[in-house]
Homo-oligomer: A and B are copies of this chain.
Amino acid sequence: SIDGDRLWDSLMEMAKIGKTAKDGVCRLALTDLDRESRDLFIDWCKAEGCSIRIDKMGNIFARREGRNPDLPPVVMGSHLDSQPTGGKYDGVYGVLSGLEVIRTLNEAKYETEAPLEVVCWTNEEGSRFAPAMVASGVFAKVFDLEYGHSRADVDGKTMGEELERIGYMGPDEATIDAHPMGAYFEAHIEQGPILEDEGKDIGIVTDAQGQRWYEIKFTGVEAHAGPTPMKTRKDALLGAARVVDLVNKIGLDRSPLACATVGMMQIHPNSRNVIPGEVFFTVDFRHPDDAVLADMDKALREGVEKIAKDIGLQTELEQIFYYAPVPFDKSCVDAVRMGAELGGFSAREIVSGAGHDACYLAQVCPTAMIFIPCVDGISHNEIEEVHKHWSDAGGQVLLHAVLAKADE
């Protein structure tokens, strides 16, 4: 059995790095705080006798050898970066429950057949650098290294530069070819309300929704808010506002499965008495069915064109990120199901609403995910909360699933 208290203590210790006023975490990818959390993770892994490998995307692999050095490792993990106003569990839980599995096996002096590894992926959140999961995407050969390194934040700093700056540009190739994996398991909070609502402790994640992310820029004409008649205005913010409403409608019309969000908007010149001349904003679409996702795309493009035409705006619209719905590996999903049964936890199958590094890994190695509930389904919020017995349960299921695969 894993030591739930030890796992919890590590979660709380890690949450001190980037702790916010409202008891959340702000630890944006490749900031000094991200470096601190990486350093701490590596210290903990070394204390367990693990060897450390860092690749050119800053992904960190901590390895515990198995009996058979010829077998590819069974890998557990997630990410340590957070949203600007994030919580203590999103990502961190998957990394530290992996570490807890290793601590447990060390304590029990249990040797697995295949080696085990815990991985921390870089910039999963996609908040500082878009898109999300870019480093696991490079690892899974969805993006090339150059694309990964060239992702830039709002100040124009690139991931490549920032990896160098914080000392996490590792020497190893960042692809699965250079580092084959036997299986990948990611434990994560659900970030939605389903498990808690149904009183289940464990979600057996069978699939992940597809996603499409967009960047839209409207250009109108900046002018004085006082003497410029309503009818001659080309107000870029009016256009963006109508798209926000449209995006909401696109989601609602395909409810309950669809999600549609405008999360970011930048207004220029953003002055009280100036009609905005330029607005940049983002759209995030999700659906488990790729055909519906394509239909949402169509509705967006048509709607944006009409809105821009009505107001007289110029439009730039780019889909910057897409992946189709992801089915997880049947034998890995079964290992999770079996783990939940062995542990005696209430469980149900579930589709992930969020993107995870596991979604990219699933394209190149047998992959599954374990969800635990979070209070009120709230995540990407400083008040994100988890009950300790959920955390215990997830760690235990991870242990069972990993052993099943490593000793197969």
Q: Residues of A at under 8 Å CB distance from B? A: 83-85, 125-127, 130, 132, 190-193, 209, 211, 213, 221-232, 235, 237-238, 240-242, 244-245, 248, 251-252, 255-256, 258-277, 282, 284, 286, 352-355, 377-382
Contact = CB atoms under 8 A, between A and B. Distances in A.
Contacts of A272: 126-127, 130, 213, 263-264, 282, 284
Contact of A252 (B193, B230, B248, B355): B230
A178 to B, nearest CB: 29
Contacts of A271: 83-84, 125, 127, 263-264, 380
A229 B193 contact: yes
24 contacts: A84-B269, A84-B270, A84-B271, A85-B222, A211-B226, A222-B378, A224-B353, A225-B286, A225-B380, A226-B286, A226-B355, A227-B377, A229-B255, A237-B263, A238-B244, A241-B245, A245-B245, A262-B276, A263-B272, A265-B270, A271-B380, A272-B284, A273-B355, A274-B380
A190 B228 CA distance: 10
A273 B127 contact: yes
Nearest to A278: B85
B85 A227 contact: no
Given A230-B248, A237-B244, A273-B125, A225 B83 contact: no
A354 B226 contact: yes
- Give the copy number: 2
Given A192-B226, A223-B378, A230-B258, 11 more contacts: A84-B271, A126-B272, A193-B228, A224-B354, A235-B248, A235-B261, A241-B242, A261-B274, A263-B273, A271-B380, A274-B381
Contacts of A382: 222
Contacts of A229: 192-193, 255-256, 259
Top 8 A-B pairs, shortest CB-CB distance: A227-B353, A192-B227, A241-B244, A225-B261, A226-B354, A241-B241, A226-B353, A222-B381
Contact of A225 (B237, B259, B266, B352): B259
A269 B82 CA distance: 12
Centre residue among A225, A255, A267 by max chain B CB count within 10 A: A225
B248 A354 contact: no
A223 B85 contact: no
Contacts of A282: 272
A95 to B, nearest CB: 18
Contacts of A228: 191-193, 259, 353, 377
A256 B231 contact: yes
B284 A261 contact: no
B378 A259 contact: no
Contact of A209 (B226, B260, B273, B354): B226
A267 B244 CA distance: 13
Contacts of A126: 272-273
Given A222-B381, A267-B264, A354-B224, A230 B251 contact: yes
B190 A225 contact: no
Centre residue among A85, A241, A265, A282 by max chain B CB count within 10 A: A241
Centre residue among A221, A252, A263 by max chain B CB count within 10 A: A263
A34 to B, nearest CB: 16
Centre residue among A242, A270, A286 by max chain B CB count within 10 A: A270
A277 B384 CA distance: 14
A143 to B, nearest CB: 17
A261 B245 contact: no
A238 B283 CA distance: 13
